[in-house]
Structure formats: C-alpha cells, structure tokens
Amino acid sequence: MSRTRFLLAAAVVGALLVAAVSRPSPDPLPETGFPPLPARTAKEPAESCAAVMAGLSLRRRLAQLVVVGVDAGDVTSTVRLVRTEQVGGIFFGGNATAVLRDGALSQVQAVAEVPVSVAVDDEGGRVQRIDVLDGPLPSARTVASAMNPDQVRELGVRRGRALRARGVTTDYAPVLDVSDQPAGAVIGDRSYGSAPAAVAAYAYAFATGLRESGVTPVFKHFPGHGHARGDSHRVLPETPPLPRLAATDLLPYERLAEFGAAGVMVGHLAVPGLTDGQPASLSAAAYRLLRDRYHFGGVAVTDDLGAMRAITAAHPLPEAALLALRAGADQALWSSGGHVPAVLDRLQAAVAAGELPPERVREAVHRVLVAKSACRA
C-alpha cells in the first residue's frame, strides 16, 4: 500500500472511531425484535420453489449447491463460468475489483437461469474486499472496543449498502467466534471479544445492518474456532470438548433461530464428543447440532474446501464436496476456482449410486433458492 493510501485509510478509520466514542452508549441490542430481511426485488417471485426445481435438470440442481471462487479481476471468465455451468454462487477473494466496478456483475446475472449469489468475506480489519473502492472497515475487535452495538449496526448498514450497490448479495461475516487470541492469530482481532454475550451483541448488530441493506449475513465459524488449537489453512484444528463449547463458544448461536434470515458457515474443526475426529464441515453430527439444538433453518455453507489443508490433505475436492453435502451442508464452497465439471460429475454419479439421497438434494436446493429469493417457498 502506498503511503498516501495508508494515510487515507488511517484517517477514515480514525474518523469512524472518533464518531463512535463521542456519542452516548445506548443499551445493548434487545433480546427480541430483529428486523426482517428486505426484499431484493420490488415484487414477490412468481414461481414456487417446487416449480423452479421441476424446471432444472439434476445437474442444474446440483450446480445450485456449489459456490465457486472466481477471479474478481476477470469479468469475461466469470460470465463464462456462470453461463456454462449455472453455478448457484460465486465468491470473490483477494484484492482485485474489476467485477465489482461499473455494473459488471449485471453481465453475470444476465446469463444465469437462476439468480447467482455473489459472496465476499468482508469482515473488516485484515479480511475485507471493498476497502480500495469504498474505504476501510475496522476489525471486529477494534469496533467492539470503541463502539456500542447500535453504532455497529449503523456501520453494517453503511457497509451493506456499499456492497449491495456493487452487486454483492452475501457477506461471509460477521465472525461469531469467541476468542481472546492475540490480534494476529487465526481468529484474533476478527473476533468481537472473549465474552459470549458481547460477541453476540456486536455480531448480531453488524449482521442486522447488513440485512437491512439487502445483503445476507453469514455467521462463522460454527461450532466455534475461537478456542481451537491450530489453523485450518494448515492442519485440522481441534476445539475443546463439546460440553465446554456449549458453555462458551456456542452461546452466541442461541439467538440464531430468533434472528431469522441468514447463513452459517461450518468450519473445518474437529470437536471431541461430536465429530469423531472428522471436520465439522463434513460431519452429519455437526449439522444435526446446528439444526436440532440451535434450530437453524437457513443455508449452511462449508468453509473453503479447496484451499485449506484441514480438508485437502485427506480428500480431493470432488469427494470433499460430496461428503459435505451428504453430511448436511447446503452449499460446498471452494475459493480456488475451477474443477466445476469434476465436482458436478462426482455429485451426479453419487445420486445415481445412492450415495447422495435425492431428498438431501431437494432439501438443500430449496434452502438455497429461498435464500436467493429465486422462488416462493
């Protein structure tokens, strides 16, 4: 980053924090009353989800269940991918921005038979995607130290509007992990703090702001990365045993069903007493916990299946996608891009062989279509 850009970014962050601390601190978010997700279109979708699904071949249904990383600097290849494979979602990592400028994403949506979810991970701090375009966002730990939940909600509204104006529909944020790790650790300053109640207040406030702006928030990393040993980019981390997670890291998820429309990202985390040594992202027990204990009815997406050794060391991508969807994920995510035909070939063969039950596919596709407002539930 040039010195000029650095000074500009620092000034913006400073202004945000000065504005925050100069205002009185209202009470934390109420326990009820989360606002609904605004409609992204002026009118209700005309077709039912059953009708939309009936119009899709098996391969097109399976394509709805993948989110593929694309090069945000290459509009042409992104359009080609969606036109050819009709994937359900695309994901932009890195710092390129061409696809987020000048309405380029309208070209992508124009070739999609079903609207495409467009996802980024714009948390703030060291994980953000539109800072070059629309200014920097402070880290979770920074805003929790200087703002109250109402101010964080306003921050979410502003960021959501900026994302939505560029065509982004989904933000893989906020982080719901409870952590007191050093700032630069794998979670570190990406967490709102070490107190579960404070993490919940701030994370749900930011998520509410995103949702009010028409961007779907995705909470992460279930069932809790904040006290895990290891970085899933390099190894399969292990969390504390499930009873300890339930008493700390999982507490923010108690409000999940009440919050309503949102997604949850399931992490590559081995949980003693739950996942039997497998990553939660591939564990049926982890998805049952999310659905049955925390009553989550929205889209569950995996953490990155293609660029983290917690997965790649044991499973090739097509197999990992199958294992995740069979376990209970609704979307298999890989940031590395490519491999779509191989993944869809494997999923299609799994359905034919009885490895991936058709009812599991229908359930997942229904959730994905509803989340994208692609049909009437």
Q: Which residues are catalytic?
A: 233, 303
What count of Cα atoms within 13 Å lies in the side-chain half-sphere of residue 154? Answer: 10
Residue carrying structure tokens 């299609």: 348
What angle, rounded to 10 degrees, do the helices at 340-353 and 75-85 form?
Answer: 20
Q: Give the residue ranges of DSSP H helices in the chain.
A: 3-21, 49-54, 58-63, 75-85, 105-110, 131-134, 140-146, 149-165, 196-212, 242-247, 256-259, 284-288, 309-312, 317-327, 340-353, 358-371
CA 251 to each of CA 92, 195, 293, 300, 314: distance values in angstroms, whole numbers, following the listed order: 30, 10, 11, 18, 31
Residue 194 Cα to chain centre, angstroms:
22
Residue type present at position 240: P
What is the C-alpha separation between 141 and 202, in angstroms, rounded? 10
Q: Give the pair of three-digit tokens for residue 53.
A: 């699904």
